[in-house]
Structures are given as structure tokens and as C-alpha cells.
Amino acid sequence: MVSHRDLLAKKWLTGDGLEIGALHQPVKIPRGATVRYVDYKSKTENQERYPEIDSHLIVNTHLIDDGFILNNIPDRSVDFIIANHALEHSPDPYGTLLKWKLKLRYKGRLYFAVPIAEKCYDNGRPLTTLDHFLNDYHLFSSLEVSQIFAVTESHLREFLRISDANIRRLNQMTTLRTEQEIEEYCAELMWGLKESVSETKTRYDDLISAHVNYINKLYDIHYHTFSPTSMHKFVNYFCEREFSRLVEFKKSGNGECIAILENLSE
């Protein structure tokens, strides 16, 4: 299937915007538009972490920031945000969409793609349901720390048992993790997360950043999985309740689907 990334960018993106986690595959920005690249790592750090990627292809990080929070970006200050293959890495996708939307000007566009689970190394995992997305949002927004830890641990186990095994097979690694190794690595990641979070003095941003710092930076897991149908249902639900409009939704090459949302909050 042909990739529609650049075509959709040309169709919908104007003005000044951001791209989160572009790494070595930035979207081609239309003439007249400008973009700044956001990542929690500098270009040098990305070059060191991904030696298999041609270093010249990796974009320069203009803003070092947590892409799920964007604390260094003023509210209502950009015309578009691009975030490809980022939402599945968020422990709270609904809350992340809200954070991104808050940074957009009126009529600003949010352009994001997610991988289709059966087309990538998440093949074999159950799809994340709308109820699951909403429950995660409730837990994070209500600061239900102990329940968040339980859900995160279940996400980790599922990823390690299925996605990690698929990654190892795809890369022709001779050994898969044993159940004991899975439990030990899961406990190691959870220990760092729990040590970093105070159950009595914490905020939403702290919880998200703790996941980024103590899980994603060590093993950038997919917390959630999507099909085109489940993604469309999730995005429609969000738009109906959060003063947004889904202007285009499309399956694209490389096993992904792309959504373009327009902010209707003045």
C-alpha cells in the first residue's frame, strides 16, 4: 500500500507546527509551513541509541521535551502537531490527545499515525478497547497510583510475552525470554517507576513523565494496540466530546492508519 503521509500533510498542514519523535522519518512539510522537531533525546543521543540508522538522516532536535506533555510549548501556540507512531507509546492515549490539542490554535490540526497491530510486532496481542482507553484516562486523571501501577504491569507483561518475542523472531535472535526472565525484567522496570512516584504528592504530568523516564527510555514499549476500526472508533469518541473534528482518516503504507483532527476550541 502506498504511503499517504506526505500527501495528507500537503493537504491539511499550514503555518507553524511541531513534529514529535520524527527521528529519521520526518513528514515532508508543505511549502510555506515551518516545523520544529520535539524529542526527549537530542540528535546525538538518538544517533547513539540507534546506530543502525544513518546518522545523517536523523533530524536535529529543536526542543527537548516530553512529547506526551509538551510543558515547554505554550498553550494555543502552534498551527499543527505531527506525532507518528507515538500514541501507542503513551500510557494514557486519551489524555495525550488532550495535551496535544491544548497546544493548538483554533482550527489547528493534529496529524498522527498509529501502527496496525496485526501488521507489526504486536501481532497476536488483543486490541485495546475503547473502555480500556477510557479507564486508563480515568486512572491517570484521578491519580489512582496503585491501580495505574497494576495496569502498567499488565501492559509490560503482555508486551514482553508477545511483542518482544515477535521482535526477537523477526531479528532472528536465537533465544526468547523465559517466563522467569520476563518476570524479572518486568519487576526491574516497575521498581524504577514505583520508586520515582510519590502516592501522596503527585500530579498527572509526574505520572506520565515517570513512565517515559523509567520505562519508555529503557524499553520503548507499545502500551496499547490498534486496528483501523478500533482507532477510528477511539478518535470519533474523542472528537464528539472534546470540541474536535475528524477531517480525514486513512489507512496508509507500512501498516499504519493516519488521523487528522481539527481543534474547534476557540
In a domain, 197, yes or no: yes
In a domain, 125, yes or no: no
Residues 141 and 195 reside in one and the same domain: yes
Q: What is the pLDDT of residues 174-224, one digit of tens each?
A: 788 999 999 999 999 999 999 999 766 789 999 999 999 999 999 999 999
pLDDT at 1: 65
Q: How many CB atoms lie within 10 A of CB 6?
A: 12
Mean pLDDT across 13-35? 97
In a domain, 92, yes or no: yes
The domain of 178 spans 130-216
| Lowest mean pLDDT segment, chosen from 153-157, 169-173, 210-214, 240-244 | 169-173
The pTM of the full predicted model, rounded to 2 decimals, is 0.96
Residues 96 and 11 reside in one and the same domain: yes
In a domain, 169, yes or no: yes
Residues 38 and 57 reside in one and the same domain: yes
Residues 27 and 158 reside in one and the same domain: no
Residues 103 and 150 reside in one and the same domain: no
Q: How far is CA 102 from each of CA 4, 70, 75, rounded to the nearest angstrom?
A: 26, 10, 6
Q: Which residue type sits at 221?
A: I
Q: Find the CATH number of the domain harbouring 256.
A: 3.40.50.150
Q: What is the pLDDT of residues 93-111, one digit of tens each?
A: 999 999 999 999 999 999 9
Residues 212 and 252 reside in one and the same domain: no
In a domain, 204, yes or no: yes
Residues 108 and 177 reside in one and the same domain: no
Q: Which residue type sits at 109?
A: R
pLDDT at 79: 98
Mean predicted lDDT score pLDDT of the chain: 95
pLDDT at residue 173 is higher than 90: no
Residues 191 and 255 reside in one and the same domain: no
Residues 146 and 71 reside in one and the same domain: no
Domain boundary among 179, 197, 216: 216
d(Cα 34, Cα 16) in Å, to the nearest integer? 5
Total number of domains constituting the chain: 2
Residues 88 and 25 reside in one and the same domain: yes
Residues 206 and 86 reside in one and the same domain: no
- Per-residue burial over 227-249, b if 16 or more Cβ lie within 10 Å, else e, is beebbeebbeebbeeeebeebee
Residues 98 and 149 reside in one and the same domain: no
Identify the band that residue 120 occupies on the pLDDT scale cut at 50, 70 and 90: very high
